[in-house]
Amino acid sequence: MFTSVLLDATLQTGDYIGFTFFTGYMSMLAASIFFIVERGTVAEKWKTSLLVSALITFIAAVHYFYMRGVWLEKQISPTQFRYIDWTLTVPLMCVEYYLILKPAGASAGMLVRLILASLLMLVAGYIGEAVDMSNNILWGVISTVGWAVIIYEIYFGEAAKLAKASNNPIVQKGYNVLRWFTLVGWAIYPIGYMMLPGNLLHGLVEGHDFSKSSPVDLAYNIADAINKIGFGLVIYSIAKGATAEEKTMTVARA
Ligand SMILES: *C/C=C(C)/C=C/C=C(C)/C=C/C1=C(C)CCCC1(C)C
């Protein structure tokens, strides 16, 4: 009896969703340590950006620790953990945009717009996934409006103009990669969401027993690792590049 309990709480061969809960947890934790330690190697004005990168992966690591445990015991993943995590980490990603563009004159209004749009995206997504599931297409559409506002802001709005005006090639290049994450990397989430019962891509996973496990979790786990760690690494490389350049300039001036 005792062994059977233990076996149930062990990662099984072929449990690929469980596998991504473990790798997600461990890689987010490792990334947090990396950003914190490397924070000491960049110029003063970049330290907050690296701290925020570390907070994003650390908040995710703690949530993955819980989700991984629940998954092992019950083979389910409560939607609540997922959305509590995102409600904290996505606004922090908006803060990263703000911090990077602040030297170019980013306004608090830009930050507020990004955060409000991300909250619309997440609240609507949560309702569609956990509260009013039979209308998940409608809530998905409302959520996509929030995402579209963010895309508009970073490609055509104030943020885009500031990046162009910043006159710093390192920031501009990094900014382009960051917004590519927000456009392409973030697209994995709605694709996962559309595999929910009753939604547009559910046919792809027809026959999958959703009461046992959800392919939506697989999509979210992969997306989180790419978007949180990858995003943080881009911030890191901008900070490193700008720090090195400043040093060269100081030496040249001396
Ligand atoms: C670290 C977590 C991140 C970057 C989470 C991002 C989440 C999204 C971009 C979610 C988007 C959704 C839609 C655009 C429509 C369907 C519902 C969502 C919430 C999955």
Tens of pLDDT, residue by residue over 87-106, are 999 999 999 999 999 999 99
Q: Which domains does the chain have, with CATH numbers?
A: 2-253 (1.20.1070.10)
Cβ–ligand 1 contact at 35 (below 6 Å): no
For the residues of 70-134, what is the DSSP string, one character each? Answer: HHHHHS---HHHHHHHHHHHHHHHHHHHHHHHGGGT--HHHHHHHHHHHHHHHHHHHIIIII-GG
Whole-number Å distance, alpha carbon 191 to ligand 1 midpoint, is 9
Cβ neighbours around 106 below 10 Å, total: 19
- Position 148 confidence tier, pLDDT thresholds 50, 70, 90: very high
Alpha-carbon separation of residue 90 from 29, 47, 109, 197 (angstroms): 18, 19, 17, 26
Contact 159, 112 (CB under 8 A): no
Q: What is the pTM of this model?
A: 0.93
Q: Phi and psi (nearest 5°) for 12?
A: -90, 150
What gap in Å lies between CA 220 and CA 85, rounded to an integer? 12
Q: What is the pLDDT of residue 35?
A: 98
What gap in Å lies between CA 111 and CA 144, rounded to an integer? 19
Whole-number Å distance, alpha carbon 73 to ligand 1 midpoint, is 26
Q: What is the pLDDT of residue 11?
A: 84
Residue recorded with tokens 């694709």: 191
